[in-house]
């Protein structure tokens, strides 16, 4: 078996053929090394049984039970997920602390002839690296905020900018939330805070720190996930490119961008009811009536004028950063977005000069 890898850094993801997480599915779902595959040597129920036996019966009985379970599970992985791996296959294996679970898998794989390595300290070593990077010393590229009121197409512009070679950081995509009370509609559940931080670290690690990166203007939280303070402070001070468009165009764009507004009446109604404290019962009742009538563009326009724009004005007043450009768009259809994205790319290029 190869010597354990003493520390974690981004290069390990490329150095090994696979990163194998042998922890239970529940542990893996909470957070894992980006790109890792989960080949648990104990599943959720088995891990709980072994832990109970360790505490309530004896360490020996727990180890005997665990050895039998681990052996069966590794055998199954050899016959399924690992059955097509070639000679010379070189994975990095980790568990919670880099102990028995990863060591057992690595020992057997080495006997097969695969030069497997373990990560010393396991997931805890990886997690320590992420915390140090995001809350300490990770260099950030120059940030330019893509700003604008709700419905101005900021989220849709990011992949278009990426296609033109502009660096982007999609915080809403990483957090699986679009940043408003309707932000979770139609999306999978948000990752854990640890999972969000792993995805954020990995995205930042792919960026060229010498080139500007476009980041959509957000608050310090995206849904329930919190941005690291270093990133948030850099965003607060960053220059911005602001996009403006008429309310009607923004309402049309929101309806197109949020098909869930039409598809899930119960979720929409729950979101509207959550605004009652801020908007008042009468206003919310009016919006509910528009939703029931299928007047979704009128509903979107009402939300823009009476909820989103006032909230944006309050938030914008608290944030600094110079405005590099204010770009007006008459429409936010495909042609309108294409025009905007080229103008934004030109502004980014000018900012680098």
Give the distance between the most distant pair of CA atoms in the chain. 73
Residues present in the chain in total: 353
H/E run at residue 93: strand 91-94
Q: Which residues of 324-350 are buried (b: 16+ CB within 10 A; e: fewer)?
A: bbebebebbeeebbeebbebbbebbee
Residues with Cβ within 8 Å of residue 11, at least 6 apart in sequence: none
Element (H, E) at 261: helix 260-263
Residues noted as catalytic: 95
Q: Within 13 Å, how many C-alpha atoms sit on residue 155's CB side?
A: 19
Element (H, E) at 154: helix 154-163
**Coil/strand/helix, residue 181:** coil
Q: Which helix (H) or strand (E) holds 215?
A: strand 213-216
CA gap 143, 237 in Å, rounded:
9
Contact between residue 322 and residue 240 where contact means Cβ atoms under 8 Å apart = yes
């Amino acid at each position: 078996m190869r010597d354990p890898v003493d520390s974690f850094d981004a290069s390990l993801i490329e150095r090994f053929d696979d990163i194998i997480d042998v922890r239970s599915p529940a542990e893996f779902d909470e957070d894992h090394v980006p790109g890792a595959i989960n080949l648990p040597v104990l599943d959720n129920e088995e891990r709980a049984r072994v832990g109970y036996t360790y505490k309530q019966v004896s360490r020996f009985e727990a180890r005997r039970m665990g050895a039998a379970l681990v052996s069966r599970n590794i055998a199954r992985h050899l016959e399924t997920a690992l059955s097509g791996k070639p000679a010379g296959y070189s994975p990095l294996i980790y568990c919670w602390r880099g102990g028995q679970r990863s060591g057992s898998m690595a020992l057997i794989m080495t006997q097969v002839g695969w030069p497997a390595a373990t990560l010393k300290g396991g997931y805890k070593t990886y997690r320590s690296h992420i915390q140090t990077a995001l809350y300490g010393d990770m260099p950030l590229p120059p940030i330019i905020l893509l700003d604008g009121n709700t419905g101005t197409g900021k989220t849709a512009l990011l992949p278009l900018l990426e296609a033109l070679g502009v660096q982007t950081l999609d915080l809403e995509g990483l957090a699986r939330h679009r940043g408003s009370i309707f932000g979770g509609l139609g999306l999978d559940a948000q990752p854990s805070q640890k999972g969000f931080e792993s995805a954020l670290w990995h995205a930042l690690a792919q960026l060229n720190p010498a080139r500007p990166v476009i980041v959509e203007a957000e608050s310090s939280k995206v849904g329930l996930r919190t941005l690291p303070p270093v990133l948030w402070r850099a965003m607060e001070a960053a220059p911005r490119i602001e996009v403006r468009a008429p309310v009607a165009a923004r309402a049309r764009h929101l309806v197109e961008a949020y098909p869930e507004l039409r598809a899930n009446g119960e979720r929409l109604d729950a979101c509207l009811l959550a605004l009652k404290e801020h908007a008042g019962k009468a206003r919310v009742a009016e919006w509910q009536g528009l939703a029931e009538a299928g007047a979704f563009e009128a509903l979107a326009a009402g939300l823009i004028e009476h909820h989103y724009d006032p909230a944006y004005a309050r938030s914008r007043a608290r944030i600094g950063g110079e405005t590099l450009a204010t770009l007006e768009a008459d429409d936010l259809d495909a042609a309108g977005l294409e025009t905007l994205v080229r103008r934004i790319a030109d502004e980014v290029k000018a900012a680098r000069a």
